[in-house]
Amino acid sequence: MKYILVTGGSRGIGRAICQRLVSLGMPIIINYNSNHSSANDTKSLIEDVGGKAELLPFDVSDKTEVERAIGCWEQSHPDDYIAVLVNNAGIRRDNLMFMMSDDDWHQVLDTTLDGFFYLTRCLLKHMMPRKRGGRIINIASLSGVKGLPGQTNYSAAKAALIGATKALAQEVAPRNITVNAIAPGFIETDMTKDLPEDDLKKMIPVGRFGKPEEVAALVAFLASDEAAYITGEVININGGLYT
């Protein structure tokens, strides 16, 4: 059986992605780091509509934890494999660069970039031999496309993720694996609740923040069979703020 793994799937965009991907008919593996209650809530939402879900807690930035968690999952699912990977986990530690601490720099890059590297490398070993290949979808950001002040760390991490997406797409295309990135702008989640929404909405041509469900709909398309000829792309979803 094929499975879907969504990192940072316990809330926000990750939760919306988990809920939407139920439509593909595959069980969902919900990764999270520490918020067990929110992860259970996401699992319940999936099961309430007839989907199947499992929880798989681990820190994506920790190589040992990634390899342990995936190894244990593979041992308990000897006939299954993860066919769709959504690298969504990420954190913000905003500050002007001259005031930014080493920890705030490394934590943001480690979660987004090391998390992508450790987990994707681990899963490719089992995805590449499959005839039907797989899907890798990386959640980047407007910050990684144009850069945003106060987010040098976050912009660097997401820009690097975009570069990695384009390179990996070329490596694995002959194995029927597509690799794409989605770059959301301002989306209504916990990560943006501290931003001055009223002021920022004036900059957005459509006049509002996006919804997690709108990002999730794009993820679902890229994960589907209909998107088999799309790879190495970075798709902006930002209400026209930046094109």
Of 3, 81, 154, 229, the catalytic one is 154
Is 154 known to be catalytic?
yes
How many residues appear in the chain? 243
Query: If we measure between CA atoms, which residue out of 212, 209, 213 comes closest to residue 198?
Result: 209
3-class secondary-structure state, position 61: coil
- Tokens at residue 98, please? 């001259």
- Please say whether the beta carbons of 188 and 211 come within 8 A: yes
Task: Please provide residue 53's backbone torsions phi and psi, each rounded to the nearest 5 degrees.
Answer: -145, 150
- Please say whether the beta carbons of 67 and 76 come within 8 A: no
Which residues are identified as catalytic? 154
